[in-house]
Chains A and B, each alone.
Chain A
């Protein structure tokens, strides 16, 4: 059926041969689980026509054996049921037992609550599941704390409630399970803050005598066990093999450049119209809300049927309307930002279109997972934009389709973060020296000296004049939070580095699919004021960086170069910004911002002799190009945005005295990203090499070397020189490690 569909598509009048590649992922048969369940749960599954899969059974069994579990099977594999069933069983066996479920966003917690209420009523259980967060009405709060056995909340709320832990004594003392769902959100700085928060929570739970098992549920990552350990401090059993039934997935790799006369938006609109006309329920993911609306309107004009656009922030009734419409078929097409990547039960659809690579394979496959009903075949269309990462996948479809996922880094060990969480812990329960590592003990002593902690026979007691939980924010590291507000409403908080880089006056800023324009940036007050506006251009700052190497923590000699990782000090000057419309720079304006000096993590490559044959006038351009390629491929290996990594190239760096490329974490104090790239360097270099070598352009293009974020306007760049350098970097892997 899908083959006929594609044939039809190719015969359409507007089709110009854009399908560059086709791949078919064969369907898989269900691998059922033989695990025995209590009859009340078994009957419920029967009534709903649900069969249990092997991976769900594995989670149940591991949980029964008292293990922590991290499940990373793909989207739509029934992860939610995989952790709900063991919880229900545990709470049925223990009439006092309780469970706590943590969600990164309230909307996701509410989605899960709906599922729990449904099971509860269908099974005739009495568990009183409830969400408890800032939206919980005052009248319900006492009742929930007193009687609820399942509580759903989010890290920000939990952070504020922990000091009042005696109000949760019953739940903590009887806690059988802690579920951390959508755990892939907890990466980077936010992730490490949540990791410390979880450690504080577990400490308090232990104080009340609770001994919960932890279940982490996450989208697919390369390093589930490492991730689980980083987030909770405990080892977890990894369940990753998907036993669910999958239909065949036909993947079309669409090259919009084949028809340069039509924009990506217009080509996608045709595609969407084509599919919905034929009754194929399709979801289309875009990067911005503006383009979601443009596509849904254009698709409707092109003859598409019953297409709606969707974004975050819809009221519950609107969401329910969408779910209903998709379920009963009255809505045939929905165009959305990442808001519909997870949560909200829309069931499976027939086709998914990805407009632009969403930044990670994790996200891409979450989105792709929205298409596919059981064993029915489904269609996935990937439509790349013109940037290195998107075009890379077009040229290397195997990478897109393969099982590899990004590593999720949770950087621990930042003393400033640790100090904050130690202060919070001491405000929750006296902090005994016995439970601290030497580094933590040293921090605690430092906190005493600064008057935040008092040593007492029972441990350190917090004595700051302001509440610890107010001065320790979860979302950032430096504490010099810059708040972004729109009409006095808080939209986001960010690091001052990011604020200078992405939220300068006049900048176009993207937040959850909506575009905003920055009216004012006040770094002293830590405030960015923006206004909501749909614009058809984007902006990019022009910066110059200086990097001073402070310390080298690891070194790996290679053939022709040295690979190092350590700490650097970056001085970033802001020169101005440019306005870009449809990939063309239309204006350049000056900026008046003070230079930013910060310390961060970094890795660097110092060439010894491998680049001798490059003409000196081409050296910088070659290094620069290689630097761009490496940064462009970074998100393939580590879960981050390309914007999280900064770079600098120098033909003769002051400290190394050699041609050098530096990659550093673009956030104050660092987040462990470039250190993770250092660990995975060989794979990074291979991909960067493949990217540039495989590009058919002459001198470098947006698909390989040109970066829209380059602070020096992509000058100078030498494509042949970059290829040469990247060759050296990959050649280094074949050699045995040279000793000094």
Chain B
């Protein structure tokens, strides 16, 4: 047994180096808190995954499909072969929309094909595929095109994992607009045995969504999600339309904010102050501490932190849409 301890102990030490020693957040009580007492409102599903619901009085500026369609039709770069130079030239010649371009001797066929692919009314999937093909990721059309889908079809999401890669997801929040308010649902795995149930819940939420919204989700959250599905041998979800607000925040606020961490944008731009919050880097440590001790007091601050991340995402989108409107 001693031999095993020595063999494993070194590895364990290395796994912990670089992480600040765990500390309890100030509002956590002493003594072991049971899960059901920490989250009296939570419900457990058949897979053992805990669900915590929350509603917030948030809203988004109304986007209408007509305005979106006009903006899309004005973007000539969506036709293969037309870049900034040709756009300027065509504008001079009086072509200011894809509809007008249909009669153009050179670009007519391509425009027709594009508009046919989009359909009437424009299919969000086809439109976003065009955007991703030709426009940089921070173009405002990505935000404007949200007008193609009903507000209820937007799904905001954020994951908490135990590490950077090859790490389990233990907490996920998804949010959508319903019945005049913003509903957040958080899935919490009380142990890693429930990670599969968490993934399955997420999967059904993803399937029902028109557009996914995240912060750095395209690089991080979505990749981790696919990885965890593959880890358990579950069928990978198809990639839905995904708008990553990090790119847009960087474009809009990169000049005024020292960095583009969500926390920074929150404080500097959105005016959101979190009291007693913990740094994102400590979230995994608290979950690990919960696994070791069974004390659910460790989970309260991370559930709160994760929920606020999602709320801030909505506030950020609201700000970005208003800025686009004013422009």
Contacts and interface: CB of A to CB of B under 8 A. Distances in A.
Contact of A418 (B7, B164, B236): B7
A479 B14 contact: yes
B255 interface: no
Contacts of B5: 446
Nearest to B10: A479
A446 B2 CA distance: 10
A451 interface: yes
Contacts of B8: 415, 419, 443, 446-447, 449-450, 452
Given A446-B5, A446-B7, A463-B291, A458 B232 contact: yes
B43 to A, nearest CB: 21
A456 interface: yes
Contacts of B291: 451, 454, 463
A454 B168 CA distance: 10
A538 B188 CA distance: 62
A423 B232 CA distance: 16
A166 B227 contact: yes
Interface string A392-432: 00000000000000000000001110111001000111100
A165 B12 contact: no
A426 B113 CA distance: 49
B284 to A, nearest CB: 6
A166 B12 contact: no
Contacts of B167: 427, 462-463, 467
A583 interface: no
Interface stretch (B145-153, B178-186, B192-200, B240-248): B192-200
Contacts of B17: 466
B33 interface: no
Interface string B163-179: 11111100000000000
A467 B196 CA distance: 20
Contacts of B233: 207, 429
B9 interface: yes
Contact of A467 (B4, B7, B16, B165): B165
A164 B17 CA distance: 24
A416 B192 contact: no
A165 B230 contact: yes
Contact of A163 (B166, B196, B236): B166
B191 interface: yes
A419 B7 contact: yes
Contacts of B327: none
B15 to A, nearest CB: 4
A616 interface: no
A468 interface: yes
Nearest to A423: B11
A450 B165 CA distance: 20
Interface residues on B, range: 35 or more
Contact of A471 (B11, B193, B284): B11
B262 interface: no
Contacts of B288: 451, 463, 465
Contacts of B14: 466, 471, 479
Given A166-B226, A166-B227, A467 B166 contact: yes
A457 interface: yes
Interface string B1-27: 001111111111011111100000000
Contacts of B285: 465
Contacts of A479: 10-11, 14
A76 B241 CA distance: 55
B80 interface: no
A463 B165 contact: no
Q: Is the interface of B mostly helix, strand, loop or mixed?
A: helix
Contacts of A451: 12, 15, 288, 291-292
B4 A465 contact: no
Contacts of A184: none
Contacts of B15: 451-452, 464-466, 468, 471
A166 B226 CA distance: 8
Contacts of A569: none
B141 interface: no
Given A430-B232, A465-B19, A454 B292 contact: no
Given A465-B288, A466-B17, A467-B163, A456 B191 contact: yes
Contact of B4 (A423, A430, A442, A478): A442
Nearest to A429: B231
Interface string A269-288: 00000000000000000000
Contact of B236 (A166, A469, A471): A166
Contact of A468 (B166, B229, B284): B166
Contacts of B3: 415
A450 B14 CA distance: 11
B227 A454 contact: no
Contacts of B252: none
Interface residues on A, range: 35 or more
A456 B231 CA distance: 13
A200 to B, nearest CB: 12
B143 interface: no
Contacts of B6: 416
A592 B166 CA distance: 43
Interface in B10-60: 10-12, 14-19
B202 interface: no
Interface string B283-296: 01100100110000
A231 interface: no
Interface in A147-178: 163-166, 169
Contacts of A632: none
Contact of B166 (A447, A450, A462): A462
A469 B162 contact: no
Q: Could you say which of B11, B16, B167, B284 has the most chain A C-beta atoms within 10 Å of its C-beta?
A: B11
Q: Could you say which of B19, B196, B226, B230 has the most chain A C-beta atoms within 10 Å of its C-beta?
A: B230
A722 B223 CA distance: 66
Contacts of A466: 14-19, 163
Q: Could you say which of A414, A461, A478 has the most chain B C-beta atoms within 10 Å of its C-beta?
A: A461
Contact of B11 (A416, A429, A469): A416
A472 interface: yes
Contacts of A472: 11
A624 B232 CA distance: 59
Contacts of A450: 8-9, 11-12
Given A458-B196, A479-B10, A463 B292 contact: no
Q: Could you say which of A164, A427, A450 has the most chain B C-beta atoms within 10 Å of its C-beta?
A: A450
A164 B5 CA distance: 30
Nearest to A443: B4
A446 B162 CA distance: 20
A164 B229 CA distance: 11
Interface string B80-115: 000000000000000000000000000000000000
B227 A164 contact: yes
Contact of B192 (A423, A454, A465): A454
Contacts of A420: 11
Given A416-B7, A479-B10, A166 B163 contact: no
Q: Could you say which of B17, B168, B192, B285 has the most chain A C-beta atoms within 10 Å of its C-beta?
A: B192
A596 to B, nearest CB: 16
A429 B227 CA distance: 10
B162 A463 contact: yes
A450 B5 CA distance: 9
19 contacts: A166-B226, A428-B231, A429-B231, A443-B4, A447-B12, A451-B292, A454-B191, A455-B193, A457-B193, A458-B196, A462-B168, A463-B288, A464-B12, A464-B163, A466-B18, A468-B15, A472-B11, A478-B10, A479-B14
Interface of B: 3-12, 14-19, 162-168, 191-193, 195-196, 226-227, 229-233, 236, 284-285, 288, 291-292
Interface of A: 163-166, 169, 207, 414-416, 418-420, 423, 427-430, 442-443, 445-447, 449-452, 454-458, 461-469, 471-472, 478-479
Nearest first, the 10 closest Cβ-Cβ pairs linking A and B are A166-B230, A415-B7, A450-B12, A464-B15, A456-B193, A163-B166, A454-B192, A446-B8, A446-B4, A427-B166
